[in-house]
A and B are shown apart, each in its own frame.
Chain A
Amino acid sequence: MSASIAPRRRSALLFLLRGNPVTCAALVLFAAIVAVAAIGPLLLVSDPLATHAAHTLEAPSAEFWCGTDEVGRDVFARIVVAARLDLVIACAAVAISFAIGSVLGGAAGFFGGWVDAVTARIVDTLMAFPLFLLAMAIISALGNNTANVVYATAIVNLPFYIRMARAEAAQRRGAGFVEAARLGGAGSARVLFAHVYPNILPPLMVQISLNLGWAILNAAGLSFIGLGVRPPTPEWGIMVADGAADIVSGAWWVSLFPGLALMLTVFCFNLIGDGLRDLLDPRLRS
């Protein structure tokens, strides 16, 4: 029986994706970005850190596809190398806030009582700060380095996961399958992690996708103002900042290409998030 269901399910997914060409395009783009981040740096001929004194601030050419910056570094090579760092920062931050937030929020929604009350206070306090400013304050306190960008982004995002997981778990607390599991002799922890938790994951997936884009923007914004990743490490936000002074004198390529890479990546994550939401929650389909 399962053999006859599997192909039908696959075709249903294909059908949904075909009806959603924008999400399809976004998935292809996403695969391309991941491929660049994974193997791009290995294929590069030029060194992203090497300075070419004879080729400073050169416009895009056959030799330097995206031009060179003020000290003659190859902008294209730097964009490719930066892709990996930006993706790793965003994924690590989102993974941390997802792991902690979903468990904490799930427990709060499932048990209620004081667990819920304490979690709600934490969420309220974190949400009382403007997100980007809280991230700035955390990094300035913990120390200005890449790892702390990850932690700051994770902490700042935590409330969203807690809130969502809490709402979803609270909804399922009295569901039939939960009662059944209890009658079957499962303890609270087992009911929570084996029965409730897997059911709250789908809506959280949408949040992850939308959040990845935001996390990249957040990290790039922080390094743009000099927090987090330190130069000369290639990172999209730093590269845009490097070119900010040159743009007033007409050297657009130093900022434009890393900025476009950043925008395209975030756009891609947001499109996938929207598409996932449509797939998972047909009621929201417009």
Chain B
Amino acid sequence: MARPSPWRYVGRRILSALPVLAGVVVITFVLTRMLPGDPALYYAGQVDSFQAVEEVRHRMGLDRPLPVQFVAYVGDLLHGDLGQSLSTGQSVGREIVQRLPASFELMAVALAVGMALAIPLGVAAATRPGSLLDHACRVTGTAGVSLPTFFTGLVLIYVLYYLLGIAPAPVGRFPSFMRPPPSVTGLLTVDCLLAGDFGKFRVACAQLALPALTMAIFTLAPLMRMTRASMLGVLSSEFVRQARANGMPWPRLLFGTALRNAMLPVVTTMGMIASSMLGANVLVERVFAWPGVGSYALDAMVSLDYAPLQGFVLTMSVLYVLINLLIDVLYGIIDPRVRFEA
């Protein structure tokens, strides 16, 4: 059989994401139109006249048929227009873009920490199945899945901030009395380094430590379980036995040959982990007053301002579709078998 080109697979995978994106937009539109309350009433303000409300409704296009409204909605989306926040009066799209780096920094660091802890632990558990370490990993794995993220965060704050005084107060990305470095990338730690300010870099890292740890604990359990299961399978396969019989040194076999093969199923679970991280991010941002997109949506929600919440859900869902697309494409490039099956 001819080796299928990876680019054909990539192209097909990108095409298959389009109907899903369309579905996301339709559902978000439906949910937006089911909003409690009448947006026209909000915009008309305190004016108590029927005529004024009708006028606003007409101006906003809310009196047109739903399909026409949908076309207008999609048109707005294509221009990056997610509506306006009632409480801040700002464009939702712009505010989300401004706050996205804070959330991204938090999630990226958390995922890196989680993987750095989970993969060695999973490998260790898989090499000694049935050992004390294996059982400990299994119990902590199940316990980790059972931990409510917001609760983990609060316990960490109590122990590391209140009792031990190691961690700084949970007041967001940067203490308000310090001037943040000039924004280049929007990622505070990177910006500090770019400005060459190591003092501020340490402050930013300290603020980041607890929320990132909270989320890392959250990703730890599924990653560890998956690594263990997949590593167990690979270690009992024939090519590993063969390599061992040929005298390949054990560490090289374990971390080179075996781990590389075992990571493939772990990559596929990254989609699930991304989904739960995007959700957990909202809770962690709330607990640590982290000024990311999650707390933006929540702050707006408290004042019954739903446009930011809908814009946030739409943005995150589109990002999530793109993350899944990226994972699948990478997977197709790494593993030629996927291209044969597809």
Contact = CB atoms under 8 A, between A and B. Distances in A.
Interface of B: 19-21, 23-24, 26-28, 30-32, 34-36, 129-130, 142-143, 145-151, 154-155, 157-158, 161-162, 169-170, 232, 274-276, 278-280, 282-283, 286-287, 297-298, 301-302, 306, 309-310, 312-313, 316-317, 320-321, 324
B69 to A, nearest CB: 15
B286 A224 contact: yes
Q: Nearest 6 pairs between A and B by C-beta?
A: A132-B279, A125-B23, A259-B151, A130-B278, A267-B146, A266-B146
A234 interface: no
Interface string A209-237: 00001000100110011110000000001
Nearest to B35: A141
A217 B142 contact: no
B103 to A, nearest CB: 12
A270 B31 CA distance: 32
A229 B275 CA distance: 24
Main SS of chain B's interface residues?
A: helix
Nearest to B150: A224
A249 B280 CA distance: 25
A237 B287 CA distance: 13
Contact of B157 (A125, A136, A220, A247): A247
Interface of A: 121, 124-125, 128-134, 136-138, 140-144, 213, 217, 220-221, 224-227, 237, 240-241, 243-244, 247-250, 252, 255-256, 259, 262-263, 266-267, 270-271, 274, 286
B151 A250 contact: no
B149 A221 contact: yes
A130 B302 CA distance: 21
Nearest to B314: A137
Contacts of A143: 36
A59 B31 CA distance: 44
A263 B148 contact: yes
Max count, chain A CB within 10 A of own CB: residue among B30, B142, B146, B147: B146
B158 A252 contact: yes
A262 B301 contact: no
A163 B251 CA distance: 39
A14 to B, nearest CB: 23
Nearest to B147: A263
A36 B185 CA distance: 52
Nearest to B27: A125
25 contacts: A125-B26, A129-B313, A130-B274, A130-B276, A130-B316, A131-B275, A132-B282, A133-B278, A133-B316, A137-B31, A141-B31, A141-B35, A220-B148, A221-B150, A224-B148, A240-B148, A240-B154, A241-B150, A248-B157, A249-B162, A259-B148, A262-B151, A263-B143, A274-B142, A286-B129
